[in-house]
Amino acid sequence: MNISIIGSGHVGLVTGACLAELGHCVVCVDNDEEKIEKLNRGEMPFYEPGLQEIVRFNFLEGRLRFSNSIAEGTRHGEVLFIAVGTPPKPTGEADLSAIERVCREIGANMTGYRVVVEKSTVPVQTGEWVARNLQKYAPTGLTFDVASVPEFLREGSAVHDFKHPDRIVIGVSSDRAAGLLVKIFEPLNAPILLTDIKSAELIKHSANAFLAMKISFINAVAHICEISGADVGKVAKGIGLDSRIGMEFLQPGIGFGGSCFPKDLSGFIAISQQLGYDFQLLKEVENINRLAREWAMSKLLHLLGGSLLGRTIGVLGLSFKPGTDDVRESPALWMIGDLLKMGAGVRACDPVSIENARQILGDSVEYFQDPYEACTGVDALLITTEWSVFRELNLLHLKSVMKTPIVVDGRNLFEPFRMKEIGFQYAGVGRAALGQEVRG
Ligand code: UDX
C-alpha cells in the first residue's frame, strides 16, 4: 500500500521506516530541508537504536523515500499519517498549529479518497477539527476519512516497540478506513482495538498520564521510605509482584522528562479543564515530579554544608533517559540550571547527548565524553541518567579522582551499603537512610 508520513521526527520516521519494512511503499515528508538531505544521505537526524539500518535498507530497496513536499506526500499515499509536533502552549494546552498547516496542504492536494490519520498525540475531539479543516480546503465532492492511531513508542526502544506492540488502537468512523488500517497493522500480530476516534485520542492521553502517575506515585513513596527508614526497592518489588500493579514504571528517581510525559500531562489537564473537569490528580503528578528533583538537590546541598557557591559538581547524564540523545525536558538539564543559579560549576558527561545539551546550555557547562574526566576534582557527583556506562564505573577509581567523595544518586545506580563501604558520602532515592545492607 502507498503510505505517506507527514512529519519525520521520533515518531514519524520510525513509523515510516517500520511500515516500509512491512512491505509498504512509504514517503516520509518533513519541512526541515536539512533533515531531508541528511536522510537522503542515509544519516539519521537523531539517535535511535536500530533505526539507521532499517532506513538505509528500505531506502535502497526503493520502499522508502524522503520529501519536503506535503503535496507530493498527499498524492502518493492513500493513507496519510500526521506525525508533526504538538508542543504545549504557555497555558499547557496542545499547540495544533502545525497540524492545521498540514491539513490545509493535504486538503488542497487530495486527488482521491484518503484516510488522514492522527499519529501525533492530540487532545480528545481533535478528529472533528481535523475533518473540518480538511473539508475547508479539499475539492468539493472529494471523500476522505479521518482516523486516530496513537503511538506508544518509547524513545530508545521505538523500533522494537513498533514491531512488538502490546496493542494497536485504531479510532475510525467508517468501515472503509477501518479496513485499510487493519490491513496495514494486522501483520504485527498484536491485539487490535477498533474504536471511535474520540476514544482512541483519549486512550493516548490516558496511557501516558497513567504511566507518569505511576512514576510520581513511587517517587512519593520513596520520600516516605527515606523518612521512615524503609527501602523503596523492596516496596516497589512488593507491590509490583501484584499482577494488577506490575513491576514496570516503579523505578524511583529524579522524575520523568522527555518530549511526551510533561507535554501530554499538561495537554490532558488543559483539555479536561476546557471540558469542565479539573484534573487535580494529574496536577499533583506534575508537582511530585518537580519535587523529586528538588528533593535530590536538597540532599546535595545538605552533603555540601548548605551552599554550592564556588563548588564544582560532576553530573553524569544529560538525556532524559538512557538509550536516546533527546534532552527535551530532561531532569538533568533542569537540575544543571539550578546548580548554575546557585553558583556551582558543572562538569557534565553523557555518551550521546552532549551536542543536544550544548544547544540549550551553551558553554555554561564543561562537557566530557569520559565520566572519570568529568568527575576529576569535583566536590560532589550528581547521577541523573542511568546509562549502563555509569553503572559499570570503577568506584575505587572514581573516588580517587574526586575532590570529595560525595555522591547523590538520582537514579539509584549503586547500592548504599557498598558505597559507604568504599568511603563515599552517599544519598540515593528512597533507600534506607543509613544504607544498611538489605539482603535477599
Ligand atoms: C513515553 C511512553 O512510555 C510511550 O509509551 C509514549 O509513546 C511516549 O512517552 P518515553 O517518554 O520515550 O515514552 O520514555 P519512557 O521510557 O516512558 O520514560 C519517560 C520518563 O520516565 C523518562 O524520563 C524516564 O527516566 C522516566 N521513568 C521511566 C522513571 O523515572 N521511572 C520509571 O520507572 C520509568
Q: What is the pLDDT of residue 435?
A: 45
Say how far apart CA 342 and CA 400 lie, in whole Å: 26
Question: Which one, of 41, 80, 73, lies nearest residue 59 by Cα?
Answer: 41
Locate the ligand 1 atom nearest the alpha carbon of residue 326 and give its number.
12
Spot the catalytic one: 103, 225, 260, 349. 260
Q: Which of 205, 261, 264, 384 to mutate to test the pocket of ligand 1 (most atoms within 8 A of CB)?
A: 261
- Other Cβ atoms less than 10 A from the Cβ of 289: the count is 23
Class of the 210-439 domain?
A: alpha beta
Task: Provide the 3-class DSSP secondary structure of residue 434.
Answer: coil
Locate the ligand 1 atom nearest the alpha carbon of residue 121 and give its number.
7
Q: For 104-167, give the DSSP string.
A: HHHHHH--S-EEEEE-S---TTHHHHHHHHHHHHSPTT--EEEEE----PPTTSHHHHHHS-S-
Question: Which one, of 305, 294, 365, lies nearest residue 335 by Cα?
Answer: 294
**Amino acid code (one letter) for 73:** G
- Cα dist. 244→193, 351, 410 in Å? 21, 36, 28
Q: Would you state the cell numbers that stand for residue 21, as one nine-digit string? A: 519494512
- Other Cβ atoms less than 10 A from the Cβ of 276: the count is 6
Locate the ligand 1 atom nearest the alpha carbon of residue 411 and give its number.
30
Locate the ligand 1 atom nearest the alpha carbon of residue 207 and give its number.
5
Say how far apart CA 198 and CA 169 lie, in whole Å: 12
Q: How far is the CA of 152 from the centre of ligand 1 (A)?
A: 10
Which positions ≥6 away from 220 have C-beta within 8 Å? 288
Phi, psi of 244 (to 5 degrees): -75, -15
Q: How far is the CA of 228 from the centre of ligand 1 (A)?
A: 28
Angle CA 144–124–73, to nearest 5: 35
Annotation says 260 is catalytic:
yes
Q: How far is the CA of 320 from the centre of ligand 1 (A)?
A: 9
Q: What is the pLDDT of residue 166?
A: 97
Q: What is the pLDDT of residue 436?
A: 47
Class of the 2-195 domain?
A: alpha beta
Per-domain residue ranges of the chain: 2-195, 210-439
8 Å CB contact between 417 and 231 = no
2-195 and 210-439: identical CATH topology: yes
Say how far apart CA 243 and CA 250 lie, in whole Å: 13
Lining residues, ligand 1, CB within 6 Å: 151-155, 208, 211, 215, 249-251, 253, 256-258, 260-261, 320-321
- What pTM, to 2 d.p., does this model score? 0.95
Q: What is the pLDDT of residue 374?
A: 98
pLDDT digits (tens, 9 = 90+) for 287-328: 999 999 999 999 999 999 999 999 999 999 999 999 999 999
Say how far apart CA 318 and CA 358 lie, in whole Å: 10
Residues of the chain with pLDDT under 70: 432-440
